[in-house]
Structure formats: C-alpha cells, structure tokens
Structure 1
Amino acid sequence: MRFIRPVERDDLPQLLALAGKTGGGLTSLPADSQTLSARIERSIQTWQDALPRAEQGYVFVLADSDNNQAVGICAIEVAVGLQDPWYNFHVGTQVHASKELNVYNNLPTLSLSNDHTGSSELCTLFLDPDYRDGKNGYLLSKSRFLFMAEFRDRFMDRVVAEMRGVSDENGHSPFWDSVGSRFFSMAFTDADFLSGTGQKSFIAELMPKHPLYIHYLSPEAQAVIGQVHPQTAPARAVLEAEGFRFQNYVDIFDGGPTLECHIDQVRAIRKSRLLPVTLSERAPDESLPLCLVANTDYRNFRVMLLRADPKSAAITINRETAQIMACQSGDNLRVVKLFAEEKKA
C-alpha cells in the first residue's frame, strides 16, 4: 500500500536517487546531497515550528508500506520571495502607434516580475518512473491540498505552481538559448543547478531590467513560452482540473507556465470534509468512489487513496489501514473525491 507522509532524514538516499532520474529541469530537486539534506532539515524544522514564515517549507514523500521507502516527492513552500526574491517573467503587451503613419502594433513582451511574492507554492513534484502506475501520481500531487485544507491558517491566500518548461533529453532549452544564455553566459543545466542549490544572487545581478520583445526571440523559443515539458503535461492537467489557471507568468529559465489559484477555490480544499472513523474488517465496497483520505495529525500527517463515500456519516476502514493512517475508531479523517464529478450535459 502507498501513502503520503512527512519527509525523514533517512529518506536522503532515496531522494538523491529520485533526483538522478529527473533528467534536469526540476530546479527544486537537484542531485546534490548537501542541498537535499538541508531541504530535509528545513522541512523538519518547519514541522517543529522552529522557523519564521519566510523560511518555512514542507516536504512530503510517497512511501511504500512494505518497506517505508520513498518513491516520490512533493512539497509546499509557505510564502515565496519573503527572504530571497522570487522571479518570473510576465507576458504582457507594449503598443507602438503612429496616427500620422496609420501604424498600430501590439507587441508581446517579457517583463521581469516579483508579483507572486508572498504566495504559497506547490513545488518539487516527482514520481519514480517505476511507480507511475495506477493513481500514484494523483495521490502525490493532490495530497498537499488536504494538508492545506486541514492547516489552512499556515498558508497564504494565493497558491502558485511553476510548471517545468520544454527541454530535450540532453537538457537543451530553446527558451534559455534565446533569453537566459544571452545574459548569464552559461549552459541551462548550470544555471538550473545553481538556482536549485540556493545560489540565486546571479539572477538579480544579470537578468534584464527592461522588457524584452518576444518577436526578437527565435521561433523555437517563442513556440515554447507557456508550454510544459511532455512529462509535466499530466501534472498541469491535474492542477487545472482543481481550478488552477495560467495568468501569463512564465519561468525565467525555460519559459514554463506558472499556474495559480486562490487557496479557498481549489476544488479538493473546498470540497473536503471531516468524517469519523469506523473500524471494520469487511472488504471495501468497490462501487464507492476513490477518495483522498488524510488524518488530522500535523506532525504525523498521512494521506491514502481509499474507497469511501464523502457524503456518508462516517468512513469505514480496516485495522491495517488505520495503523498506516495513525488513527483509531472515533478519530476524524478528511475526505474528498479524487476527481471532480463530471458535469452532465
């Protein structure tokens, strides 16, 4: 059985192995032991209420109940940009017009932005390719919403998610080649690694301070603005089904889209409800919908996918599941359907 839990120090070897399978482009999961170890420690300190809001970040792993091994990772940054600037490009428009010459041109531009400062961020989503079966990806991605719903006061009103942009199997990014390389004079993979290991001062020092005209970029770069890496397309679809939208902000390195939503408008947060636990050894009713089910224990948080009826008076689970979920009869579990109900025509 697979379940979500907080990251532990012993997960470092598995996280390093996962980082080695990303193929680059996932800035927040670098294959660097020191950086990942520090990330784990920061997450643990966040759960211990030992850090100010500007430094808080939660890391979760998808674990196998047979061996407790981490096979996936996801995270939430509580408030980005309060300590180190959080940059992206805003895709906007500049108008150049001459009434005398009867010329009127709308020119799309890229402008360096800090507009998402203070937002909570969904980040570091990666599932081991060997475990991309069933609904593991949905569990990994959406589990964070139940944590945010249960501990709403710990997060900001706006939630954002940077989507990985287009790059090839060799780490070649057409957007970087046409934009970033002009200012940083380094390879995309090198800049990506520096940013992922916390060395971000070069961004403020070297990025252009004035708008860039998109028409000056290569056709290849223009084509990938706001587009996601093929492996990231399912993650984008998951977030959009939960209410996230692209509002014309893109990553400064690879041009990938930033999606955003008000926290209280996220479907899984808005629709989730608490149900008391009833223990039973009967087999689960397979006719019931698949649901995300989370406990309410802040430091021992757990999420699983279970068959349940969110509209019932209670949720019935067996003792093995209760042990994994760290709950007992009478405790409350937060429940929401895995997928939104399809709208009838």
Structure 2
Amino acid sequence: MLIIRPIRGNDFEALYQIAEESGHGFTSLPVNADLLHSKIARAEASFSKSVDEPFDEGYLMVLEDTDTGEVVGTCGIEAAVGMEDAFYHYRLGTEVYHSEQIDVRNEVETLTLCHDYTGAAELCTLFLRDSYRKDNNGRMLSRSRFLFLAQHAARFGETVIAEMRGVSDEEGNSPFYAWLQQHFLGIDFIQADYLSGLGKKAFMAEMMPRNPVYVCLLPEAAQKVIGEVHANTRPALNLLQAEGFRCRGYVDIFDGGPTVECRLNDIRSVRESRLLTVRLGVMPATNTSYIISNTILADYRATSANLLVAADTDEVVLSPELAAALLVAEGEQIRVLAM
C-alpha cells in the first residue's frame, strides 16, 4: 500500500536520494545535507505546533510503499511564503507610449521585480520516483495536498500558488536566464538556482535589475520562453489548471516559468472533498477510486482506494486494514475526494 505521511528524521537518506534524482530546476530540494536536515526538522516542528495564523510553517510529506518500507516520493505545502525570506517574482505589465503629433501608439511589455505573493500558501516539492509513475500515483500524491488544505485551511494563506518549472535544456541552461547572467548576476543558472534553494537570496536584491525590464529588448530566445513550462512539468500544470489555477502574469525570476494561483476555497478538489464517518467491515465492490485522508495533523495519513460512497449518506465502510493504515477507528471521520 502507498501511504502519504509527514516526513521524519529517519527519512533523510531517502530525501537526499530524491534531491539527487530530481535534477536541475527543482529549487526546493538542493543536494545539500545540512539544508535537507533543516527542512525535515522544520516540517516536524510545523506538524506539531499550535498555529493561530499562518507564518513560516512548511509541511513536507513523503510517499511510502508500506510493502517495502521504501520512500518513493514527496510533496509539500508552504503555509505562507515570504514571511522570513523575500519571495521574488517578475510581474508582467504593459507600458503604453502614444504621440498624437506623429500618430504612433506602442504597447511595450515589461517585467517588474516584486514581492506580490508574500503571505500566499505554496504547493511545492512534488516528486515521484520513475518506477512509481503509473496507476495514478502521481495524481494521488499531488491532489492529496488539497485534502490537507481543506482540512487545515486556517493554517494557510488565502491564496495558494504553484511555481511551474520553466524551459531549460538537458544541461540545466535556461535561455531566459542567459541575458540576466550576462548583464547582471554573472553566475550560471545552476549556481543561482542552487543558492536560491539554500535560502541565500541576498544576491537577488543586490544584483537583480531594479527598474522594469522591457521584454522587447531581451534576446528572442529569452522572449519565447516567458510564461512557458518545461516539457516534464506540463502534466502538473494541466492538473492544476483543472483545479482552477490560473497564471495572473507572474513568472519566475530565473527561468521565466509561470506561477499559477487560486483562492484556497475555490480549488475544485477543496470544494468537492467530503467528510465521512468510518464504519468498519467488508468494503463493497466498486470501481470508483478515491483519495482518502484522515483529519489528524501530526499523524496525517493519506492513500487511495476503491470506495462505495453514496450521495445520501455521510458514512463509508473501510476494511480494518485500510482504517489501521489511515490511523482511524470506527466512528471517526475521514476526508475523501474522487480520483
């Protein structure tokens, strides 16, 4: 059985391996032992702390194959970005130039450095190992976060965002970043991305262009990838768009990938998830698959299974084995979402 649960200290080796496998552009998991230990400790503290309003908590989870004990994936949610470290984006805008004298009107697209998403929750750190990318495992891992958001909404910002990986080649070179490297930062994309993942972001404020950048003055290769996603990220973007996420004109400052957003309560899976009361017994045969989670914070568990869920009842039958895996008992509640 595949179970999603909060990360623990003894998951370090598995997380380090995932960081190595994830490759360039996976900023939230740099290959750095100290940082990964810190992320695990921060997640453990976040799951256990009492929260009046979201601040700088990070909820990092892993997907465990209980048959082998192997950690095969990870997913995470940031409670409110930019509260401790600056959270940068480029905001796409338009400047209009018009002269009646010469009868010419031009609209010029601009990129302006901003912190507009400060306080927003963020979907992040989604990765599934190659051998498990089948049977809707990736969809379950990604969408399980919406059940967590629905159950613990008060712990997150009202807007939820997701940064989509931008276009880069197999060596990790970004056409959008090339002009920035040449004229401003002076370090390559992989190094800048790595420093960002470490939280060492002072160089951004010190070296990034302080004035709006005119898109038309960028190299054509850079212009073409603004707001475009990496080929490997297209399925993730499609899933989020089906949930109601949209790009509102914000892109990543390094690779130009789009950032998408949705109000937490407007996310389709948040709205459509249901709370049901558990009854233990023999589960009726059905072909309808659901993502299922308990309603606990520190001992959060989620998985998927075929359930018979009726519209006219608030009860559902779980086998004792499934209930035990979810850490729920007879009469307790679970949250479900049709796959």
For residue 109 of structure 2, give the secondary structure of its aligned residue in structure 1.
strand
Is the contact made by 1:181 and 1:188 (CA closer than 8 Å) also made in structure 2? Answer: no
Q: Distance in 2 between matches of 1:196 and 1:220?
A: 25
How much does 1:182 deviate?
Answer: 2.4
Q: Distance in 2 between matches of 1:256 and 1:321?
A: 40
Q: Distance in 1 between matches of 2:325 and 2:201?
A: 39
How much does 1:305 deviate?
Answer: 1.1
Q: Distance in 1 between matches of 2:182 and 2:32?
A: 23
Report the residue type matching 2:291 in the other structure. L
Aligned residues: 336
Q: Distance in 2 between matches of 1:55 and 1:82?
A: 6
Name the residue aligned to 2:39.
Answer: 39
**Residues 1:271 and 1:50: Cα distance change in structure 2 (over 3 Å):** closer
Name the residue aligned to 2:301.
Answer: 302
**Residues 1:231 and 1:285: Cα distance change in structure 2 (over 3 Å):** same
5+ long unaligned stretches in structure 2? none
**Residues 1:36 and 1:310: Cα distance change in structure 2 (over 3 Å):** farther
**So what's the TM-score if we normalise by structure 1?**
0.94
The answer to whether 1:187 aligns with 2:188 is: yes
How much does 1:144 deviate?
Answer: 0.9
How much does 1:329 deviate?
Answer: 1.5
Residues 76-122 of structure 1 deviation map (CA, whole Å, 9 limit, x = unaligned): 11111111111000111111111101110001111101111111111
After TM superposition, list the pairs within 5 Å mapping 1:1-345 onto structure 2. Answer: 1-49=1-49, 53-282=54-283, 284-287=284-287, 289-308=288-307, 309=309, 311=311, 312-338=313-339
Q: Distance in 2 between matches of 1:180 and 1:56?
A: 32
Q: Distance in 2 between matches of 1:6 and 1:248?
A: 33
Is the contact made by 1:273 and 1:310 (CA closer than 8 Å) also made in structure 2? Answer: no
**So what's the TM-score if we normalise by structure 2?**
0.96
**Residues 1:310 and 1:252: Cα distance change in structure 2 (over 3 Å):** farther
Residues 278-324 of structure 1 deviation map (CA, whole Å, 9 limit, x = unaligned): 22234x5233x221111011111011112222624322221221111
Q: Distance in 1 between matches of 2:227 and 2:181?
A: 16
Residues 142-164 of structure 1 deviation map (CA, whole Å, 9 limit, x = unaligned): 11111111111111111111111
CA RMSD, 1 decimal: 1.5
Report the residue type matching 2:208 in the other structure. M
Q: Distance in 2 between matches of 1:336 and 1:17?
A: 30
**Residues 1:181 and 1:302: Cα distance change in structure 2 (over 3 Å):** farther
For residue 277 of structure 2, give the secondary structure of its aligned residue in structure 1.
strand
Q: Distance in 2 between matches of 1:157 and 1:280?
A: 39
